[in-house]
Structure 1
Amino acid sequence: MHYFYFIIAFLVLVTIIYLLKDILVDKLKKTFTAKQQCPALTVPLESLSPLWLKYNKEFKDESDNYTVDLLINSSTSSVTSEKQTENTENDVKVEENEITTAKLHMVNEFAQIDTIGSFYNEVIKPYEEIFKQQNVYDILINVLKMLEKHGNTPSVVIDVKDNESVDLISVRENLAQVSLKEHTLTVTRVMIDLIKQNYSEPENFVPQGVIIALAHDIGKIPELRLSGVYNSYDHAIVSSNWLAEQFTGKDVFWMKQAIMAVRDHHFKSRDPLTQMLRDADKQARQMELVQFSKNYRIESIDNWLDVDKLLELLLPKINLTAKGKWDAFTHKGIIYVKPDLLYELSKEYMFNEKILDVTMLYESEKESVLKKIVDKMREKNLIPDFIAQGYVSRKFEIKSKMQIKKQQMVLTAIKAEPFLDRIDEIERRKSGTALELIETVVPV
């Protein structure tokens, strides 16, 4: 009886195997094929490089930032790499041609960052411990990595939504040829010099100054500025917001001042750090523009401005009208001039003399430039008393014979004494124009 049940069970099992054999065979084929077609494993250079980097005597592992260590030692690593590879043959079994290929790839990848390596060793290295003590070394590394990756971005944003782009409109095409990395490192070097000049213990202020200098234009990187994350197209705001992110979770006593300095570095400020950053930025721009201005000399308006030469440029513009519009006119021994004309003539004078004064190129510095011009004229007693000390202009009410409504304009007033020998010629220019009909000009 048991034998009968055994036979029945065996036949059932054989029947099931026969019915399922096609399915099992197909499954085994697919499994075998999948194993044969498994894609080759690709190991990125970043994962492979520690195999030889950890045996590099110059290499130091700082919180797994081995790419940064390579970055800051890039100025010397290429010279010693061959000898260092020889010392690792007994420890790391990697084919020689594989090492050579990887090293060549690494050299090509970091060929453009040699200036940052030199910069780190020369500028940052002496203060490295202070960065760590102030808990901002990681921020320093982050901003250097950003400059390493995006440093070839132009140092000027060609966009009317960016304040600096408008401010430097007359020279921005030239400055766009200067890379963000080049400009930033120059600003940082100047910033350190200014800190040394202004503080009795400068080393304590270096981390703050260096970080704001390195980060001040980081918002010009297209990936940041156009991302929409920072709710602005103005690079200074994007830069300050990015820097604020770097301070997340940190208790650094000067971080708010640093963020504000980056945000406001294109505006006049009473904050000494912001003003130093602003000055460093301008000095860097001046050095950069020299590259495009052969035979020009760098000089301040305090030294190069000659009032007599400026007035010679003003002379042809007085009482001259074009399509009913004028920029300067005479009335009872006074020349009334639109301030913008004085500003443009001073720039023309500067270029005629082959002088490079970066202050003249910032539209935001116009008021400051005009004040210096008027102060120089005041020294020669050419500014009437009704232009108060410290002011460059004031509002005047102009009444004409043909106009019922009086006209009000903001003008600079200059005594006509330097032109007394040519006053008749100047007055004749009014003939047949609206200027001939002016009756009174009264300060408001």
Structure 2
Amino acid sequence: MNSYYYLSGATGLVMIGYGCKLLLSKTNQKSPDLQTTFDPEVAVALGFQQTIENLERKSLQEISELWTDTVIPLALISRIWREPEPEPAKTKRPRPVFKHPEINAFYNAYVAKPSVRGNRRIVIEKLLQMLDVDGDCPSVVGRGIYANDNEQERKYGEESYEYLAKIPLWKHSLAVTERYIAKFQHDSMHPDAMIIALAHDIGKIPAQYSKFYRKSDHPVTSGLLLMGIPEFLQLGNCAELERAVQNHHDLATNHHLPTALKEADQEVRKLELAGMLANASSRDVKSIDAIQPTHLITENSGIESVAEPIAVENDDSGIARNLEPGSMYVPHAHKLPEWLNLDAVLTYIAERINIVIKDPELKGLWHAYSIADGFVWVSEKLVWKAVKEVAGHQLDLITADGDEAVRRNWLYSIVRRFGERGDVCIAMMKEGYYQAPVTIITGTGRSLPGFYVPFLSRAFGVDATTLERRKGSQIRGLVKNILPKIQVEIQ
């Protein structure tokens, strides 16, 4: 047993000795790597006896290329997240031929490029073919046989709507697409831009719109038609493109693709309506919208039926939604132009206070009602019509009818300016609002919520007592009282 322990101890000593020998031999070796990379003072401190003059020195800028690289354009690196284009087919697709020369010219200028290829080109060609075959229809929808209250375009003035209806859909779509493409700097985005813009209104084609107009508006229908193209579904970003099409009439788009599309659409509409103004300049018209004259119904004229006053639940103008900022849309004020005469707007409204009105554009039978405490409650519809009537042939107001966000910005700016002048009680409205919440007591005693602009009777140059004497039995049968939900005393 003792001999076994002696043998184990001897073996251990031999192994320790061999390890020490290896360690000493490595320490005495010179390291060429250390000679060229260590700082001289550090190298000497570690025991390396190399010559300091032999060390190579480089500036930080010279060696920075180790962790930096050349700048690569976004258009090139976008290929990382874009799906790879398929290999060109051995048999080349025949170039489509269109019956409209303008569509052929558009194809040659924008589509017949090497950068427009694969499924994207196929989708673009199919959209152009749809517009070529079925796009001779009106470029606006919402009235007539397929009346749809959800369509923003139906709010254009009568003459504006009729004029835009004469512009074919294919022509409007090409103009919007050209404007939209110009908003993207990199050519790599142009194919997607063409898909979005060419598709944004294809839901207006009557054969398709007639199937869905009762349940949705044309942006939704356009998105459905786009998703029905097999090659479109093969695109990696098809969902993003489809959302841009469906959201281009939203109050707040919150994304560059639909926002830029909305801008391009309104820019083209403004040009189209400018053509209408040019054609109408030689005619003697009171308003470019050719709004039917307001018929003031006197006490003796009578009406066929007495309707309930306009309230939020029955008002198709979306007043309730307009008054809710937050996630919907918060209007912002802008400087009012010099051509807008606010005193003339007040005069227009004053003639309609406590009067039963029959106006197909305004809807409802009353839009301005005074109460004994000195307030005159005016609907935003009447304010907007008064502004348009007074302004006359102003392109900005005409086009605003087709863009709800722009229209609300105008109303917010105008009402706030009236408030600064002391004509409107701003204290009754929350920040971002241009109307105040009220409870309407109808002639039959019902209570209905509503939203109206709180004008002061003195803004119209009359006192509350004088306005009360204007009320006849018809208006009293419609409205008994209006109670503001935010109580403020008149100073």
Q: Which residue is 2:115 aligned to?
A: 130
- Structure 2 counterpart of 1:254, one-letter code: N
Q: What TM-score does the superposition give when structure 2 sets the normalisation length?
A: 0.56
Alpha-carbon distance, 1:369 to partner: 4.2
Once the two structures are superposed, the pairs formed by residues 176-325 of structure 1 within 5 Å of their partners are 176-193=165-182, 195-196=183-184, 201-226=185-210, 234-246=217-229, 248=231, 251-268=234-251, 269-293=253-277, 294=279, 302-303=336-337, 304-321=339-356
Are 1:357 and 2:397 an aligned pair? yes
1:295–1:354: 8 Å Cα contact kept in structure 2?
Answer: no
Change (3 A) 1:389 1:215: same
Separation in structure 2 between the aligned mates of residue 418 and residue 301 of structure 1, nearest angstrom: 21
Separation in structure 2 between the aligned mates of residue 308 and residue 388 of structure 1, nearest angstrom: 25
Once the two structures are superposed, the pairs formed by residues 48-127 of structure 1 within 5 Å of their partners are 64-68=92-96, 71=97, 112-124=99-111
Q: Which residue is 2:470 aligned to?
A: 429
Alpha-carbon distance, 1:252 to partner: 3.1
3-state SS of 2:147 partner: coil
- Structure 1 counterpart of 2:204, one-letter code: K
Separation in structure 1 between the aligned mates of residue 357 and residue 188 of structure 2, nearest angstrom: 59
Q: Which residue is 1:376 aligned to?
A: 417
Equivalent in 376, 379, 382 of residue 338 of structure 1: 379
1:339–1:412: 8 Å Cα contact kept in structure 2?
Answer: yes
Separation in structure 1 between the aligned mates of residue 437 and residue 353 of structure 2, nearest angstrom: 19
3-state SS of 1:136 partner: helix
1:167–1:363: 8 Å Cα contact kept in structure 2?
Answer: no
Change (3 A) 1:245 1:176: same
Separation in structure 1 between the aligned mates of residue 90 and residue 419 of structure 2, nearest angstrom: 61
3-state SS of 1:66 partner: coil
Separation in structure 2 between the aligned mates of residue 240 and residue 129 of structure 1, nearest angstrom: 27
Q: Which residue is 1:389 aligned to?
A: 431
Separation in structure 2 between the aligned mates of residue 279 and residue 376 of structure 1, nearest angstrom: 26
- Structure 2 counterpart of 1:192, one-letter code: I
Alpha-carbon distance, 1:380 to partner: 3.1
1:366-402 deviation per Cα after TM superposition (whole angstroms, max 9, x unaligned): 54443233233234343321212211212224679x9
Q: Which residue is 1:27 aligned to?
A: none
Change (3 A) 1:443 1:226: closer
| Identical counterparts, % of pairs | 25
2:156–2:398: 8 Å Cα contact kept in structure 1?
Answer: no
Are 1:327 and 2:358 an aligned pair? no
Q: Which residue is 1:443 aligned to?
A: 485
- Structure 2 counterpart of 1:390, one-letter code: G
How many pairs were matched up? 331
1:304-327 deviation per Cα after TM superposition (whole angstroms, max 9, x unaligned): 543222212112112334699642
- Structure 1 counterpart of 2:202, one-letter code: I
Which range moves more in the overlay, 242-251 or 177-186? Answer: 242-251
| Higher helix residue share | 1
Alpha-carbon distance, 1:359 to partner: 3.8
1:247–1:255: 8 Å Cα contact kept in structure 2?
Answer: no
Separation in structure 1 between the aligned mates of residue 233 and residue 366 of structure 2, nearest angstrom: 59
1:286–1:357: 8 Å Cα contact kept in structure 2?
Answer: no
Alpha-carbon distance, 1:136 to partner: 1.2
1:282–1:358: 8 Å Cα contact kept in structure 2?
Answer: no
- Structure 2 counterpart of 1:208, one-letter code: D
Alpha-carbon distance, 1:336 to partner: 1.6
Alpha-carbon distance, 1:275 to partner: 2.2
1:131–1:137: 8 Å Cα contact kept in structure 2?
Answer: yes
3-state SS of 1:256 partner: helix
Alpha-carbon distance, 1:185 to partner: 0.8
1:151–1:179: 8 Å Cα contact kept in structure 2?
Answer: yes
1:240–1:259: 8 Å Cα contact kept in structure 2?
Answer: yes
Separation in structure 2 between the aligned mates of residue 202 and residue 379 of structure 1, nearest angstrom: 46
Alpha-carbon distance, 1:129 to partner: 3.3
Alpha-carbon distance, 1:256 to partner: 0.9
- Structure 2 counterpart of 1:360, one-letter code: A
- Structure 2 counterpart of 1:395, one-letter code: P
- Structure 2 counterpart of 1:66, one-letter code: P
3-state SS of 1:413 partner: strand
Q: Which residue is 1:42 aligned to?
A: none
Of structures 1 and 2, the one with the larger relative CO (CA 8 A, separation 6+) is 2
Alpha-carbon distance, 1:115 to partner: 0.8
Once the two structures are superposed, the pairs formed by residues 386-425 of structure 1 within 5 Å of their partners are 386-397=428-439, 408-420=449-461
Q: Which residue is 2:27 aligned to?
A: none
3-state SS of 2:428 partner: coil
Separation in structure 2 between the aligned mates of residue 403 and residue 147 of structure 1, nearest angstrom: 53
Q: Which residue is 2:45 aligned to?
A: none
Separation in structure 1 between the aligned mates of residue 476 and residue 435 of structure 2, nearest angstrom: 23
Change (3 A) 1:334 1:259: same
Equivalent in 157, 163, 174 of residue 163 of structure 2: 174
